[in-house]
Amino acid sequence: MTSEEKKNLWLASPLVDEELKKQIAKASKEEIEDMFYRDLEFGTGGMRGVLGPGSNRMNVFTVRKVTVGFAMYLLKTYGEAAKKKGVVLSHDNRTNSRNFVLAASKVLNDFGIDTFIFDSLRPTPELSFSVRYEKACGGIMVTASHNPKEYNGYKVYDDTGCQLVPEQIQPFLDIIATLGDELTLTYKVAEVPGTQKLLTSEVDDAFMEKVHSVAINGDDKKVIKIVFTPQHGTSSVLGRRLFKELGYDQTNFFPVLDQCTPDPLFSNTLSPNPEMKEAYVEALKVAEEHHADLILTTDPDADRVGMGFLDSKGKYELYTGNQTGALLMEYVLSERAKRGLLTSKSVMCDTIVTSTLGEKIAAHYGCKTRSFLTGFKYIGAAMNQADKTGEFKFEFGYEESYGYIFAPFCRDKDSLESLLMIAEMANHYLLKEGKRLDEKLEELYKIYGYHIDKVFNIFFPGEAGQKDMQKIMNELRTHPFNELSGVKVVAYEDYLKQEKHEGKKVSPLTGFPLSDVLRFFLADGSWLAIRPSGTEPKCKFYYEAVDQKREAAENKPDLFHKDILHILGLDKK
């Protein structure tokens, strides 16, 4: 069916409300093509897309369709037990998030599956925890994470509270592929429908008790001032509750009140994404007013956390996810080592696009590293493996995109744990050593070399954009470059072909699912990775520059990227 035919089907359907039909009628030819040229797909972070009408948009019809598929998947996987085990659903502050949860809950109930929902928005990590707490067979989180306000999304979880990994998701996707059009989709309603149950504050309390359990030096006197913003999202209530329970009060804790309301339009923030400097504008104003030591911000579904701080020179700095991760790695592992808590089986988990500095710090404490593809579900699956086999002891998991976890009571990255640990770390170093975080990171750089990371995004919207991204990846595979900014490429890894190339030697790249990612290693210890995003129409370019001199390391990522753009012919666009 062509995009034009799909458009006409939507316009003629009595199921489509007038508002959606008006959006279709006003859309340009290019917009119509983007709305209907494909079905919205699951990527590294589930299904995510722009809100609006069409098969390639987030709307109640695409949500119902994928939920029908999930219901069928659960019944096939867990049998009749799935009905009483049930599914936990949660959502963020975005437009239609609550409506999507209620629509998904009804579909599941129609299949005879019980559902558990919260009275309002809750964080993604609490959803993961709640699946385990309720002994449910699955979970659904309606969120577009840190994406702009025009987006919403849908993530699915298994009975361990982990997002589905490839071997699980493929049977689910195979079922969805059989369902046909989202508008004409029908299904048989179970003779005994499932029930929708409202979760109580008991779940919040149990989750928060686990969050507090990760503290190491929780009894330290509180000597820092903290500014906190939930970016209009799900950590507003529990985040503020957390700091109160940690002993922070109105004299040393300052929430950005204008960003504490669950606003789907994100009215009082320039960006809800902790990776963007714009996300800190209002928080910086509050920090300067109160001369705060630490700025903490979560994204809307509260799985990521970003950090800013007052440095040793009296200026505010923002750190990347890798820099924050390195500091957390050093703090957590050194403190656990002091207490004799690390073992020969201790393991840190990260991703292939995460800084190598973390791996070096972990090795210093005798902690091994396991690296996975981008997507925290792989780290969650590793925690499951550790639970089942006992072959290793999970110590810490993180990724460059501002996600961290310190204990395996949930299976997704957790900003609540991270808020606690970052605050504790900053407070402990200032209290016990009189040092600010830039001084601690400088110590690490002196030991392991300067590791400066940077991520660049190039957007490729629409069907033509998808083809352009594929052309770029094909070109890099066909004609891999031998040097970058005068630095020799010593090896590269192709995660789609599952090959590692070192000169003329080609060896198998094992232990990873197929993924459209290329990673190049340079002679000076630097590296870069290139991959199309699994959740947005863009190609991501990851760089880590390594050098014994700060200035040299800081200059390299921009030079590398300039050369890559030239190699790909993108510098002329």
In the chain, list all ranges with CATH 3.40.120.10: 40-201, 224-448
* Beta strand 393-399 pairing with 403-405: antiparallel
The yes or no reply on domain 450-572 and CATH 3.30.2030.30 is: no
Per-residue pLDDT tens over the stretch 496-527? 999 999 999 999 999 999 999 999 999 999 99
| pLDDT tens per residue, range 397-417 | 999 999 999 999 999 999 999
Q: Strand 368-372 and strand 346-351: pairing?
A: parallel
- The answer, yes or no, to whether residue 573 has pLDDT greater than 70, is no
Note the pLDDT tens digit of each residue in 214-226. 999 999 999 999 9
* Predicted pLDDT at 76: 97
The predicted pLDDT at position 228 comes to 98
CA 17 centroid distance within chain: 33
**The domain over range 224-448 is classified in CATH as 3.40.120.10:** yes
pLDDT tens by residue, 264-284:
999 999 999 999 999 999 999
* pTM greater than the 0.75 cutoff: yes
The predicted pLDDT at position 519 comes to 97
- Rounded CA separation 560/544 (Å): 10
Q: Which of the residues are catalytic?
A: 145
User: How distant, in Å, are the alpha carbons of 162, 254, 376, 445 from that of 402?
Assistant: 18, 22, 11, 20
Residue 212: alpha-carbon gap to chain centroid: 22
Q: What tokens does 423 get?
A: 């605050």
User: Would you say 89 and 115 are in contact if contact means Cβ atoms under 8 Å apart?
Assistant: yes
Say if domain 40-201 classifies as CATH 3.40.120.10: yes
Rounded distance, CA 244 to CA 230, Å? Answer: 15
**58 pLDDT above the threshold of 80:** yes
Secondary structure letter of residue 258 according to DSSP: G
| Residue of 4, 159, 133 whose CA lies nearest to 73 | 159
- Residue 428's pLDDT band (boundaries 50, 70, 90)? very high
DSSP 439-469: HHHHHHHHHH-EEEEEEEEEE--HHHHHHHH
- Residue 563's H or E segment, with its range, is helix 550-568
**Angle at CA of residue 243, ends 260 and 332, nearest 5°:** 120
Residue 296: pLDDT band with limits 50, 70, 90 = very high
- Other Cβ atoms closer than 10 A to 368: 16
Length in residues, the chain:
573
Separation in Å, CA 45 to CA 163, 192, 203: 8, 33, 25
Query: Residue 44: its pLDDT value, please?
Result: 62
The residues near 148 (Cβ < 8 Å, ≥ 6 apart) are 266, 271, 272
DSSP calls for 368-399? EEEEE-SSHHHHHHHHHHHHHH-SSEEEEEEE
Task: Provide the mean pLDDT of the chain.
Answer: 96
What residue type is assigned to position 178 of the chain?
T
List the one residue out of 439, 407, 377, 342 whose CA is nearest residue 162. Answer: 377
**Which residues belong to CATH 3.30.310.50 in the chain?**
450-572
pLDDT, tens digit, 9 for 90 and up, residues 314-344: 999 999 999 999 999 999 999 999 999 999 9
For the residues 190-211, what does the mean pLDDT come to? 97
Alpha-carbon distance 383 to 158, whole Å? 14
The rounded distance, in Å, linking the Cα atoms of 144 and 141 is 9
Nearest one of 550, 565, 533 to 469, comparing CA atoms: 533
Using the 8-state DSSP alphabet, how is residue 61 labeled? Answer: H
Confidence of residue 177 (pLDDT cuts 50, 70, 90): very high
pLDDT (tens digit per residue) in 123-171: 999 999 999 999 999 999 999 999 999 999 999 999 999 999 988 999 9
| Strand-strand pairing, 316-319 and 305-310 | antiparallel
pLDDT tens by residue, 429-475: 999 999 999 999 999 999 999 999 999 999 988 888 888 899 999 99
Q: Which residues contact 531 (CB under 8 A, 6 or more apart)?
A: 353, 374, 515, 516, 517, 518, 539, 540, 542
User: Concatenated DSSP letters for 533-554?
Assistant: -SSSSEEEEEEEEEESSHHHHH
Tokens of 115: 């559902």
Residues 6 or more apart whose Cβ sits within 8 Å of residue 121: 90, 91, 92, 93, 97, 98, 233, 234, 262
Where are the extended beta strands (E) located within 503-537?
A: 505-508, 518-522, 527-532
Q: Name the one residue in this structure whose structure tokens are 């990522």.
A: 557
pLDDT, average across residues 341-369:
98
* Least confident residue range of 32-46, 242-256, 431-445, 447-461: 32-46
